[in-house]
Structure 1
Amino acid sequence: MHTDLVAGLVVALDIGGTKIAGALVGGDGRLLVRAQRPTPAREDGETVMRAVEEVLAELSLSPLWAGAQAVGIGSAGPVDAVEGTVSPVNVPGWRGFPLVDRVSRVVGGRPVTLVGDGVAMTAAEHWQGAARGYENALCLVVSTGVGGGLVLGGQVHPGPTGNAGHIGHVSVDLDGDPCACGGRGCVERIASGPHIARRALENGWLPGPDGDTSAAAVAASARAGDPVAVASFERAAQALAAAIAATATLVEIDIAVVGGGVAGAGDILFAPLRRSLATYATLSFVRHLKVTPALTATNAGLLGAAAAAFPHPPHKEASYGVA
């Protein structure tokens, strides 16, 4: 997957467990028209699909819609880009859901490209963010879940099914808690926002008067010096550091870019992350690995989905498994 995008206009969809966002995106990366709906994550699959259709219907009201060449989808995973299906861990109503086919029907047969949300974020950061100019990078989304993607040899590497770099389901605790994916001790089970908050609550952290029990509230308490809140973030940072170091050892990345809502904690996350990384990334070829916050923020999913959809030099089909 190349990120030297040509001029044009595409439809981008960013599908997660909390929201379904859509945009018409220009070849320069500008989000020209936006639409969004909450994800009815606990409803049946058709209800979730209706929310996707509503987003597309709103975008289609724009006079720019007719000029859109193609559609890119970045979805919570796992995805199967070859089959065009999605099975997001946090959307139980979608298991093997034929998303590419269903979206294709709505958008008048325009070509539809599907990648995992971690790969989408990686494409965005390589195109316009902190990984720009790097030949080898790992990009992570740390939010409700933990996803990721790889840049290898200057190109985003989605893998055969679009899931390469899905670091959230790498096990970093062999005797750890069961994960929703069916594994045990996964990074996501330790470092995602809900699990940071869960661990803090289990260890005696008390939310403020507003009753907010989110990871952001835990981060605020950590900034104020609450030791339980600090410890919960340190544990998350340790899990992330172990997985980043393992990835760097395996494929020799130069930079790890961390985005998503949990990354908004700033130094509460990044300071212990860098400290922990120094204890895991000890070999000479990984010791100088750089860790930095993502730059594309909340636009990452849409920019990455757009990057997947734009016309590219040869081998796009091989890189993405376009349905």
Structure 2
Amino acid sequence: MHTDLVAALDIGGTKIAGALVDGDGTLRVRVQRPTPAREDSETVMAAVAEVLAELSASPLWGRVTALGIGSAGPVDAAAGTVSPVNVPAWRDFPLVERVRAATGGLPVELVCDGVAIAAAEHWMGAARGHDNALCMVVSTGVGGGLVLGGALHPGPSGNAGHIGHISVDLDGDPCPCGARGCVERIASGPNIARRALESGWLPGPDGDATAAAVAAAARAGDPVAVASFERAAQALAAGIAATATLVEIDIAVIGGGVAGAGEVLFAPLRSALRRYATLSFVQKLTVAPAVMGNDAGLVGAAAAAFAARVAADGAVSV
């Protein structure tokens, strides 16, 4: 890994974060702005420009050699455009071109946020030392990224590993993506809560009806809450096992708010995985919680930028 600095952007529906990151994965400078997600495209870009301006004001900026972007998707890395579902004004928005112009022509590497998190967990987190891994975020949505053969595998468009939209229930509920029975439609936080409510679970006196509240109820033994998490775990296990069978990963790392449920999620997930990952070459597949936390997107965007620079220099990939 190079020891110079790269800049990183983590762009989502609620925040736009930026950082200067060194070759050890340390965030040397960090800034953040709220995402004006319901505003027009130029207002959103203005928030990105503010983050870049603050980063470029740092005395360390002169050492920056590249910039990585992890963006909510879908993205099109080949075209340099983004169309985040949670930022309606950005449709085929030329983010790479605009960021490159705002930074004086720095090389820019674009990946989706799930791929960025995979890069972070492989570089510094729970997938470190694993050459073949799936890293997932289970939160408001379900996303992911792949490491194959020891290197990040973003795919031609930057979206590879998007496990949330693998169909695991052929006659299941329609998903907003247009398919049916997607992992996300069953295992995301809002859908865990939705299923629990539809099955008769009642929130407590505070009215909290989130997946976190369902997890607390499951921890206390509420059978409907337990069943909702078991259903989510089954969907995740089916998607993970399918991925492992296709590309021979040996670890699945899971982060995001739903993973915060701990063994309420992980215990039934491991149990279900034993039923789905049955072929000899996937039976040793393990599942682990992510460890990189809230800055995973920034660290991963930086890792993607470092990897692109190493590849451009003709060296071994990180």
TM-score category, normalised to shorter length: over 0.9
The superposition leaves residues 131-168 of structure 1 with CA deviations (integer Å, 9 ceiling, x where unpaired) of 11111111111112111111111111111111111111
Q: What is residue 42 of structure 2 aligned with on the other side?
A: 46
**CA–CA distance in structure 1, aligned partners of residues 12 and 313 of structure 2:** 24
User: Which residue number in structure 1 is paired with residue 26 of structure 2?
Assistant: 30
Normalised by the length of structure 1, the TM-score is 0.92
- Residue matched to 2:62: 66
For residues 187 and 35 of structure 1, the distance between their equivalents in structure 2, rounded to whole angstroms, comes to 33
> Is the counterpart of residue 114 in structure 1 residue 110 in structure 2?
yes
**Which of 191, 197, 203 pairs up with 1:201?**
197
Aligned-partner SS, 1:237: helix
TM-score by length of 2: 0.93
Equivalent position of 2:248 in the other structure: 252
- Taking the aligned partners of 1:250 and 1:270, their CA distance within structure 2 comes to 22
Name 2:75's counterpart in structure 1.
Answer: 79
Structure 1's unaligned 5+ residue stretches are: none
Find runs of 4+ consecutive structure 1 residues off by over 6 angstroms. none
Q: Deviations over 1:2-50 (max 9, x none)?
A: xxx2101111111122322111111110011111223233333223222
Instruction: Give the Cα separation in 1 of the matches to 2:199 and 2:42.
Output: 39
User: Is the 8 Å Cα contact of residues 17 and 144 (structure 1) preserved in structure 2?
Assistant: no
| Contact 1:196–1:232 under 8 Å retained in 2 | yes
Moved more, 270-279 or 211-220: 211-220
Q: Percent identity?
A: 77
Gaps of 5+ in 2: none
Aligned match of 1:186: 182
Q: Which residue of 2 aligns with 1:129?
A: 125
Name the count of aligned residue pairs: 314
1:54 Cα offset (Å): 2.5
1:209 CA displacement:
3.1
Aligned to 1:307: 303
Say if 2:67 and 2:302, in contact at 8 Å, map to a contact too. yes
> In structure 2, what is the equivalent of residue 213 of structure 1?
209
Cα offset, 1:313, TM superposition? 3.1
Q: What SS does the aligned partner of 1:248 have?
A: helix
Q: Is the 8 A contact 2:66 2:309 kept in 1?
A: no
RMSD (Å), alpha carbons: 1.8
CA contact (8 A) 2:237 2:276 kept: yes
Deviation at 1:315, TM superposition (A): 5.3
Opposite residue 32 of structure 1, the aligned amino acid is R
How far, CA to CA, are the matches of 1:201 and 1:43 in structure 2? 32
Q: Does 1:176 align with 2:168?
A: no
Match of 1:143 in 2: 139
Contact 1:12–1:306, Cα closer than 8 Å, also in 2:
yes
SS at match of 2:7: strand
- Cα distance change of structure 1 residues 10 and 314 upon mapping to structure 2, 3 Å threshold: closer
Q: Which residue of 1 aligns with 2:9?
A: 13
Q: What is the one-letter code of the residue matched to 2:200?
A: G
Q: Quick check: 1:286 aligned with 2:282?
A: yes
Deviations 1:40-65 (A, max 9, x none): 33333223222222222332332222
Query: CA 1:18 to 1:215, structure 2 compared with 1: closer, same or farther past 3 Å?
Result: farther
Larger mean Cα displacement after TM superposition, 165-174 or 195-204: 195-204
- Hey, what's the Cα distance between the residues in 2 that align with 1:272 and 1:45? 42
Report how far residue 212 of structure 1 moved.
Answer: 2.6
* Secondary structure in structure 1 of the residue aligned to 2:78: coil
Pair 1:241 & 2:231 matched: no
Q: Distance in 1 between matches of 2:208 and 2:98?
A: 37
